[in-house]
């Protein structure tokens, strides 16, 4: 059973009853997943962006795009148009595949993990998780990385508030702190 089928057969009917809605389409669902890495060190080392792009593309299973600075910031030696990060947005099958991998493989690999804080779910019901290192993803070979970098994963939903978003993530199997 795919993760999308699990959502449609298990999660959506339960949320329909719990939220008291008659239409399954009114139940919160996941819209997209965004993976982002900021690379401030790209100011001094130009090759770092390509390495990060390769690693994020491997993690996501989709080509990542380079983000550029919109404004100049002299304190950080950043000029407008300078490559300063990498991002990728997942939708559809790749999104569900990544979410399943995140819940079943990546989160259990975190050191000293006691659950995700409720504060990681914002007021619109979206989940934001920061990972301190990219090597917790099974696709990354530790011997081939040049430096350990963190990354940000944002799971965007159609939930209208924090409570509905948190309930959706609990039903999908994301462990929250008790």
Amino acid 42: pLDDT: 64
Residue 105 is predicted with a pLDDT of 86
Q: What pLDDT does 40 receive?
A: 72
Place of tokens 């979410």: 99
* CATH number for the domain harbouring residue 118: 3.30.1440.10
* Domains identified in the chain, total number: 1
* CA 104 vs CA 12, 25, 38: distances in Å: 20, 26, 26
Q: What is the pLDDT along the chain (178 residues), one digit of tens a residue?
A: 777 788 888 888 888 888 888 888 888 889 999 999 887 766 667 787 888 888 888 888 899 998 887 777 777 777 787 777 889 999 988 998 898 888 888 888 878 788 888 888 899 989 999 888 877 887 877 767 777 888 899 999 998 889 888 888 888 888 888 7
Q: Is residue 177 part of a domain?
A: no
3-state secondary structure 26-62: HCCCEEEEEEEEECHHHHCCCCHHHHHHHHHHHHHCC
Instruction: Decide if 106 contacts 97 (C-beta within 8 A).
Output: no
Report the predicted TM-score, pTM, of the whole model to 2 decimal places: 0.85
Residue 157 CB neighbour total at 10 angstroms: 19
> Is residue 142 in a domain?
yes
Kindly state the DSSP code that residue 74 receives in the 8-state scheme.
G
Q: Report pLDDT for 63.
A: 93
User: In the chain, what is the greatest distance between 2 CA atoms, to the nearest angstrom?
Assistant: 56
- Domain around 167: 3-172
pLDDT of residue 44: 67
pLDDT at 6: 83
Q: Looking at the domain assignment, is residue 71 inside a domain?
A: yes
Q: Is residue 81 part of a domain?
A: yes
Structure tokens that stand for 103 in this block: 């819940």
Of 21, 38, 32, the closest CA to residue 126 belongs to 32
| 23 is a domain residue | yes
Task: Specify if 159 maps to a domain.
Answer: yes
pLDDT of residue 43: 62
In a domain, 178, yes or no: no
Residue 156 in any domain: the answer is yes
Q: For residues 63 and 59, what is the distance between their CA atoms, to the nearest angstrom?
A: 10
How does the average pLDDT of the chain come out, rounded?
Answer: 84
First to last CA, the chain: 29
């Amino acid at each position: 059973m795919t993760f999308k089928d699990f959502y449609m057969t298990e999660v959506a009917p339960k949320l329909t009853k719990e939220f008291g809605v008659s239409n399954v389409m009114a139940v919160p669902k996941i819209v997209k997943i965004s993976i982002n890495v900021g690379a401030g060190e790209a100011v001094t080392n130009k090759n770092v962006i390509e390495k990060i792009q390769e690693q994020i593309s491997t993690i996501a299973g989709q080509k990542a795009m380079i983000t550029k600075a919109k404004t100049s910031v002299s304190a950080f030696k950043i000029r407008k148009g300078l490559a300063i990060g990498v991002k990728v947005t997942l939708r559809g099958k790749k999104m569900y595949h990544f979410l399943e991998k995140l819940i079943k493989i990546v989160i259990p690999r975190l050191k000293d993990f006691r659950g995700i804080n409720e504060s990681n779910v914002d007021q619109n019901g979206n989940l934001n998780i920061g990972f301190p290192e990219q090597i917790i993803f099974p696709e990354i070979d530790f011997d081939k990385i040049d430096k350990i970098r963190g990354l940000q994963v944002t799971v965007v939903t159609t939930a209208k508030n924090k409570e509905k978003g948190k309930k959706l993530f609990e039903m999908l199997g994301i462990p929250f702190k008790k």
